[in-house]
Amino acid sequence: MTSVSRREFLQASAAGALAVSLGSELMSTVANAADVASGYVDAHSHIWTTDLEKFPLANGQTRADLKPESFTADELLALAGKSGVTRVVLIQHRPYHGVDNSYITSAIAQHPGRFGAVACIDEAAPHPEKEMDRLKAQGVIGFRIRPGEGGTKLWRDSAGIRAMWEHAGKSGLAICPLIDPENIAQVDEMCGRYPDATVVVDHFARVGMAGPVEESQLKALADLARHKTAHVKISAYYALGNKKPPHTELLPMIRRLYETYGAKRLMWGSDCPYQLTAPNNYPDSVALVRDRIDFVTAEERDWLLRKTAESVFFPKA
């Protein structure tokens, strides 16, 4: 073999080995993507980090204020993966990070396809829709609001909150109210004013947090189902009912909402890391929907655990 032919042979061999290597990596990536797509979606978890130089805390808080001290994106994925959860909707933790959403958007960028997000913004600032669009470009789909935010007692009186609802309806974004039962009426009113806005109510609107589920409160939440873009997160079991596993006392409430919303407008969420407060844990949160609900079909269970959250927070391009 001549030196030229030997060189050509070595180059061809190297190219072939590289092609095999890249082909294997590509097949692995495709397989991993398929695994991610078929896994459960946790519609609600917070994250934070001890890297306070890069991601400082709001209002002068320090590392000592973090409870638990660390719950990073990587820690969340490792925990969730053990229960078959491959994607998570990150919820901005306003008490720790205010309206600086950079840690959740950083996590989205570092873990493509694994995270959706709900951000918090300054609702009283001029043109909040501009900030919504900026964050949408970074993978954020939802925007969390609470009663009293927007500079007024009632959302209907806040120009910023009204702008957010209107823009959500026009832009395929979601409004995510964190409310108590007495605020369900506000959500009802705003859904009527902005029927095109997708709405996702957190944690059963906290019905059952203060004690036994009250029929009047559950009826108010169930009645929201007449708004066809309204959804409810069946989440935060550590804070509701008996506040401990196996959480089966919550099944009648879930069934009532299933009968009014249907499985395609309900989504499971853990509300980690708070769901990890002993004796509560992540596997029992998943198991309530995966194993202990006996009134849904297999297809409907898939909507509760995956497809509903996917349809809202992981829209196809």
Please check whether residue 286 is in contact with residue 84, taking contact to mean a CB–CB distance below 8 angstroms: yes
Domain boundaries, the chain: 1-38, 40-313
The confidence score (pLDDT) of residue 1 equals: 43
Which ranges of the chain does DSSP label H, i.e. alpha helix? 3-38, 73-81, 94-97, 102-110, 128-136, 159-171, 184-193, 215-223, 251-261, 282-290, 298-302, 308-313
Check: CATH 3.30.2270.10 for 40-313?
no
Question: Which uninterrupted H or E stretch holds 199?
Answer: strand 198-201
Angstrom CA distances, 195 to 67, 227, 229, 301, stand at: 38, 7, 7, 27
Cα(22)–Cα(50) distance, integer angstroms: 36
The confidence score (pLDDT) of residue 290 equals: 98
The confidence score (pLDDT) of residue 268 equals: 98
Give the CA dihedral 137, 139, 142, 147, nearest 10 degrees.
-80
Which segments of the chain have a pLDDT < 50? 1-31
The confidence score (pLDDT) of residue 317 equals: 63
> Which 3 state secondary structure label does DSSP give 316?
coil
Token code pair at residue 179: 């409310």
Start-to-end CA span in the chain (Å): 53
The confidence score (pLDDT) of residue 3 equals: 40
The confidence score (pLDDT) of residue 310 equals: 98
